[in-house]
Every structure is written in C-alpha cells, then in structure tokens.
Structure 1
Amino acid sequence: MAFQWQVDPQDLFVERYPQMVGTGLPKTDVDTVRAAITDMWLDGPGGWVREWSTLAEGYVAGGQHRLAALAYGWAKFPTLADESKRAALSDQVDQYLLAAPDFGLDFTRLTIEAPYRGMRVDVPVHLLTPPGWSAADPVLLVSGGVDSWKIDLHSLFADLALRTGMRVLAFDIPGTGETPVPMSADGGYGVVRAIIDRARTLGDGRVAHLGVSMGGWFAARSGLAAEVDAAIVLGGPIERAFDPDRAWVFGMRGIIGNAMGFDADPTDAELAQRMSQFSLRQWLDRDWNAPMLVLNGADDVHIPATDTLVFEGRRDTEVHLLPDTGHCAITKLPEATRIMIDWLDAARW
C-alpha cells in the first residue's frame, strides 16, 4: 500500500541539502541534480527518481559503489510510493553490497524472522563488526527514521562501530525500507522486539538501542520499558509530536501516511487517530527505565522541544537540546556523535 501526494521537490532540497552533502555526496553533484529536478513524481527527465538515478549510474560506471548507493538512496527518498522508487531501493541495496568490502569492518547481511499480527515476516538487517570486537562485548542496535534508512545512515553507524568497538546491528523501522510491515505502535513494535531478542544472541547478551528520528520513538519505547540495557533517542517523537493539530512541513504528512500503510492520502481524522496510538505518555508516567540518553536540535521543525525536555529529571537519564541546529542535530552531527559515544563509554549498563 502506497500513495503519491503533492510535494515540491525543491522544498526537500531546502531541508535535506546538509544531509545530502554531509553523508558523502560531492556538493557539485548534488547541485547538478537539484537544478535538473522539476517534479517529484514525473517518470522521465526532470523527475526526482530519474535525475538521482542518472547520477548513481555515473558512479556505477566509475566503480564508485558507495557513492552509487547514496545516490540511489536519494532516488528512492522519501518513501516507496511507486514502482520507480522501489526499483531505486533495490539498486541501492545492490550497490551497497558491492561497496561492503571497503567498509573497514566486517559486514554481514542476514534475515531476522519476526511476528506481525499473526504472521511471520522476514526482516533483512546489517551487522557491522569492528576489528577487535569479541563475543564478550555488547551489541548496538540502530535504525533511522521514516525516510532515512539503514543504508542511508551507514556512515554514522559504521563510525559508531569503529569508535565504540561495539558490534552494530542496523535495521529499517516498520513501514520503511526492507521491513515489510506498516509502522504501528503495537505490531510494529513487536517486530522491533524480535530484533532486540536476536541482537542479544549476537554478543554478550547486552543490547543498547539507538534510534534516529522516528526510530527514536522505538528506542524510547524500548528504553522506557527497560526491554534493552541502554537506549539513545536522537530526535525522536514522544508525545506532543503526535498531537492532532500539529503542523506538517517538508512533505512529512505524506511520508508518515505511507509509512503507516495508507493507500491514499489520509484525512486529518484518519491520520490523527492512527498517530494518537504512538503517544508514550503511559510509559513516561512509570518511574522505571533503562539508562537513557535523549538529544535533539533546539530548532527542530518536526519534533517539539518538549519531546526531548520531558525526559529531564528521570532516573538514569541524560538530556541534551543542542542550540542552533535542527532535526536530529544534523548540522552538528559530529558533536551529537561525540555525546553519544562518551555516554556509551560512561553509562553503567
């Protein structure tokens, strides 16, 4: 189930340009694609998928598989709303696997079977193991959000593996990427719980859970329920982000609607009803949680600051709201990464 919706592609460049160049694509190449794109859904010259895929094909021809994977990642961005975007995801996976020998750490692609509403689904995940890691060390479970997925954030996840010495298990949250079920607060979290259980078998049994953006909701849920041994929430929505009167910017309404499994642009009432199920208030009201680190940018246009600050004063919880940066502190990601690494090193978990 998927749908297209009205979105100006240039608006997406306004928000995502720092991420596009910050994850490794040359600025001149991004500028060229930006100038060429005129329509989000056009299946032809000027269309989002066509122009990003053309860039990727150039990288493929030059044997630059990592750059090709990044470009195909932007081709399928922000959601798999049509066949051309699904094809771009398939191409991204192929190029990422070709790039794997040069990652500088051991890479394994495996499948985890998870329950979902009476069914069993297969979830492809990636295991990044740094040099010197042993089975006596913990595992760091990581995911992105509704539009930036495990391959898109490889540079962050590989950096965390190499700098912490932890084995990293990367997955796509439900409703995105290669996880084949809609995003939901009940069944969707059940899929993540199965991935947590598998992660416990891949190291010494301890699991820390980092979630970025909407992935931060799942990390907050697992941390508040103490279903992991430590949790990091980077830019995650918690409760106020799910208010029915919230404002939508940069195409996020359609992105969320697709992730939730709607097959047409939902009404305000339909979207509000589905989103209300995600509030973590019942878990916040409990005086119990695993050690947690919660951080975000103070100028986030998607997640209200209160969804970060609500964690202040909780037991075993550290909170950072970084000034002069936005969603997930993307323009200050090196600082946010240092905070996460320092916390993982010092946390009693």
Structure 2
Amino acid sequence: MSFTWPLDPQDLFVERYPQMTLGLPADEVDAVRAAITEMWPDRPGSWVYEWSALAARYAEAGRHRLAAQAYGWAKFPSLADDPKRTALARQVEQYALAAPGFPVEFERRMLTVPYRGGEATLPIHLIAAPGLPADAPIVLASGGVDSWKTDLHGMWEQLALALPARLLLFDIVGTGETAHLPMTPDGGAEVIAGLVAFARTIGNGKVGHFGISMGGYYSARTGLTGAVDASVVLGGPVERSFAPGRGFAFGMDGIVGNALGFDAMPSTAEREEAFAAFDLRPLLDQNANGPMLVVNGTDDVHVPLDDTLVFEGRRDTRVELIPDTGHCAISRFGEAMAVIAPWLKDTLIG
C-alpha cells in the first residue's frame, strides 16, 4: 500500500542539500534542482525524471557508484508509486555494478528471519575493511524512513574502515527493500531480533546496533532491552516524537504515512493512534539497558531534543549533543562519527 501527497520538491532541496552533496558533485545537484518544478509525475521537470536522467548519464559513463547515488535521490522520499519503485530497482542494479570498486569487502545476500508466526526475507549487505578476520564483532546498521542502506554507503564505508567489526546493513520495515513489511514497533523489532540472532553466528558472538533517525528508534529498543552488546542511537525518536499534537516538516507526514502502510494520507487521529504504539516510555522506565551512545544535533526539526536528553543520567549511557546542526547532525557528520566510531570500538573490542 502506498500513496502520493502534496509536496513542493524545492522544500526537499532546502532540507536535504547537505546530504545530497555528500555523495554527488554540488554543480550536478544544483542543475537538477534548477530543472525540477513538480514532484510526482514522471516527465521532464519532475523529481523522479530529472534525478533518473542524471543517474542514467552516470551509468552510461560507467560511473556506477554515482549512478546509484542519483537513483537513490530519484526514488526519494518514499516508494509512493511505480516510478519510485523503478528508480529503487535501478539503484540496486547500479550499486551491484559499483561494488567491485569499493575499498571495502562487500557481500549482498538474502536472509530469512522469523516474522509474525511465519518468515520474512530481506536483502542485507555485509561490508568490512579488507582482510578483517572472520571472528570480528558484527554491527547491525540502518538508516531511517527515507534514507536507506544503499543511500548511505559512503557513511558505512567510513565506519567499516574505522572499525575492527563487520557491518550488517539492512532497511528497517516499511522502507527500501523491506517496504513489503509495514513499519510497526513489534514487527520491526522481531525482524531485528532475527538479524541479531544471525549476527551472533557469523562473527565472534558480539553484536552492536547503530540506528540512524527511525533506525535509531529500533537501536534504542535493542539498547534499552539489552538485546545487543552496544547500541548507538543517532537522531532516534523514542518518546516525545510519538506524542499527540506533534507537527511534521518537509513532507515527513506523507513519508511516515507510507512507511506505516497507509494507502492514503492518514488523518491526524489515525496517525496518532499508530504512533502511540511506538512510545518507548515502558522500556525507559526499566533498568535493563546495555551500553548505549545517544547522539543528535541540537537543532533537529524532526525529533524533539527531549528524545535525546531523556537518556541523560542512565547507567552505562553516554549522551552527546552536537551544536549548530540538525537532524542526525548531518551537516557536521564528521564530528558525530568522531564520537561514534571510537565508542563502538571501545565497547565491542575493549
């Protein structure tokens, strides 16, 4: 189930430009920005058309990594219609063609995990620094509702090269290549429990979990329940984000509505009912957490500051707020990684 909704494409450039230019040349992004006048139709001047045209030029030139990045923006911010789903398929295709040139070891495989009394199958990516021993720890890692495992490759590469650990990359339920499973608190947690169980069998038994944005909601869950040996929450919503009356910016209401499995824009009441189930207050009230690192920017328009500060004073928990940056500290990401990578290394390796 999916739907399109009224969205000014230029609003997305306002917020995401720093993220776009992390992976693509600024002049190319600027040219696409100037060409786009509408969001959903697949025709010249539309979001999916102009980004896909850039991606196709990269693909034709054999620049597969850049093509994968551009197709990633073509399918952004949600798999709301067939042109977006086509762009995702092309992104995966180009990413696979780029993989032999990665400076990290890379493997894509399909993994089946228990899900709601049956099974669910999803693609995962395993990446590691060249020559990493097989008995290294495993770190599960995911993005959020609109930036997925393939979109964030540059970040994962940086992390893999900084860690004596293998990364297991996946898309959270309701998103990306796991969009066939609706985003629910328990369903998402069950899929991740299956990934954790698998991860314990392929390394030295130690498992960490690094979640970004909505992925940070799920890493907060594994951290608060002590299900993993180290949990990093980067810009994760945990409590106040799910409270009644909260607002949405930059099209996030439609992005979230799609991930939750609605087939039309949910009413405020429908969304608030769905969100109520996500509130992590029952876990925050317990004292069962494993080692946790909670990081965000001070100026996040999506996740209230309280959802980071609520972790202050907990045992075995470190909280870091990065000033003068927004959601997930994306415009000062180097500073965030300078905290995250050493913490993961110390916590998992000792």
TM-score (norm 2): 0.98
CA distance in 1, matches of 2:259, 2:212: 15
Which residue of 1 is the match for residue 302 of structure 2?
Answer: 302
Cα RMSD between the aligned structures?
Answer: 0.9
Give 1:60 shift. 0.6
Which residue of 1 is the match for residue 223 of structure 2?
Answer: 223
Unaligned 5+ segments in structure 1 are none
Q: Between the two proteins, what is the percent identity of the paired residues?
A: 57
After TM superposition, the structure 1 stretch with the greater mean CA deviation from structure 2, 119-128 or 80-89, is 119-128
Which residue of 2 is the match for residue 329 of structure 1?
Answer: 329
Aligned residue pair count: 348
After TM superposition, the structure 1 stretch with the greater mean CA deviation from structure 2, 117-126 or 335-344, is 117-126
- SS of the equivalent of 1:238 reads coil
Q: In the alignment, does 2:19 pair up with 1:29?
A: no
Q: In the alignment, does 2:317 pair up with 1:317?
A: yes
TM-score (norm 1): 0.98
Give 1:263 shift. 0.6
Q: C-alpha deviations, 1:234-283, integer Å up to 9, x for none?
A: 00001000111001110000000000000111111000000010010010
- SS of the equivalent of 2:221 reads helix
CA distance in 1, matches of 2:255, 2:2: 10
Unaligned 5+ segments in structure 2 are none
Give 1:220 shift. 0.3
Kept after mapping to 2: 8 A contact 1:239/1:280: yes
Kept after mapping to 1: 8 A contact 2:188/2:218: no
Matched residue type, 1:113: T
Q: C-alpha deviations, 1:175-209, integer Å up to 9, x for none?
A: 00011201001112111111111111120011000
Matched residue type, 2:217: W
Which residue of 2 is the match for residue 271 of structure 1?
Answer: 271
Q: In the alignment, does 2:138 pair up with 1:109?
A: no
CA distance in 2, matches of 1:150, 1:346: 24
Matched residue type, 2:203: G
CA distance in 2, matches of 1:336, 1:188: 25
- SS of the equivalent of 2:161 reads helix
- SS of the equivalent of 1:147 reads coil
Moved over 3 A (4+): none
- SS of the equivalent of 1:141 reads strand
Which residue of 2 is the match for residue 193 of structure 1?
Answer: 193
Give 1:152 shift. 0.5
Give 1:132 shift. 3.0
Q: In the alignment, does 2:330 pair up with 1:346?
A: no
Which residue of 1 is the match for residue 45 of structure 2?
Answer: 46
Give 1:136 shift. 2.5
After TM superposition, the structure 1 stretch with the greater mean CA deviation from structure 2, 254-263 or 185-194, is 185-194
- SS of the equivalent of 1:178 reads helix
Give 1:86 shift. 0.2
Which residue of 2 is the match for residue 16 of structure 1?
Answer: 16
Which residue of 2 is the match for residue 172 of structure 1?
Answer: 171
CA distance in 2, matches of 1:195, 1:158: 20
After TM superposition, the structure 1 stretch with the greater mean CA deviation from structure 2, 321-330 or 178-187, is 178-187
Which residue of 2 is the match for residue 158 of structure 1?
Answer: 157
Which residue of 2 is the match for residue 68 of structure 1?
Answer: 67
- SS of the equivalent of 1:114 reads strand
